Chains A and B, each alone.
Chain A
Amino acid sequence: KNQVEQSPQSLIILEGKNCTLQCNYTVSPFSNLRWYKQDTGRGPVSLTIMTFSENTKSNGRYTATLDADTKQSSLHITASQLSDSASYICVVSDRGSTLGRLYFGRGTQLTVWP
């Protein structure tokens, strides 16, 4: 069964600190991996997307890494801000179907305290 597992389930950090969120997946054949940010009561917003050949992708203070051999990805947030408080969802797409099916993790709930 294709799965996406994220850790930790929740995380609390102080404003200005860095943090790293983890994503392990078993989806095969792999197409791409995306990180989304979902604010409470809102829809997810795309942060990064990486294909098999990409090891790292940055978007401002967000940097995602991908190791397709070990099927692991991380999202590093630098100099956290209060507005970073949200759920961060790892999403993996396969290339075994025309649709390019997406497999969603349950997310890591990040809380940034002042």
Chain B
Amino acid sequence: EADIYQTPRYLVIGTGKKITLECSQTMGHDKMYWYQQDPGMELHLIHYSYGVNSTEKGDLSSESTVSRIRTEHFPLTLESARPSHTSQYLCASSEGGRGLSPKNIQYFGAGTRLSVL
């Protein structure tokens, strides 16, 4: 069982609200990731981090922002939510710093299902 936690599990909010999706891991992993997944579709990487104070944008353009002030914490923020942001957001983490490691397995949280009305 992976020690990576996401809150809230479900969130329904109105357009224009600011929200923060929380992600924490207790495995001491350097790498953390945020993915967006629509029903029946593949995961798309929207943000990743190599470690503290390191954040990068992923493949899919996203209006969200992330921060990595502590190793274990990687929150995602939407300043003004819109219906187009409705989706499932998955956080993941893996071992290691920079460099390739084929044995790095990503451990996923249970996800946050966001609905913006």
Q: Report which A residues bind B (CB closer than 8 A).
A: 4, 31-32, 34, 41-46, 49, 51, 89, 93, 95, 98-102, 104-107, 109
Q: Report which B residues bind A (CB closer than 8 A).
A: 2, 4, 6, 40-45, 48, 59, 90-92, 98-111, 113
Besides A41-B113, A98-B100, A100-B101, 20 new A-B residue pairs in contact (Cβ under 8 A), listed by A number: A31-B102, A34-B105, A42-B111, A43-B90, A43-B92, A46-B106, A46-B107, A95-B100, A98-B99, A99-B48, A100-B100, A100-B102, A100-B104, A101-B45, A102-B106, A104-B42, A104-B43, A104-B44, A107-B40, A107-B42
List the B side residues contacting A4 at CB < 8 Å: 42
Known: A49-B102, A98-B99, A99-B48. A43 touches B42 (CB 8 A): no
22 A–B contacts, CB within 8 A, in A order: A4-B42, A34-B105, A41-B110, A42-B110, A43-B2, A43-B4, A44-B108, A46-B105, A49-B103, A49-B105, A51-B102, A95-B100, A95-B102, A98-B98, A98-B100, A100-B100, A100-B101, A100-B102, A100-B104, A104-B43, A106-B40, A109-B40
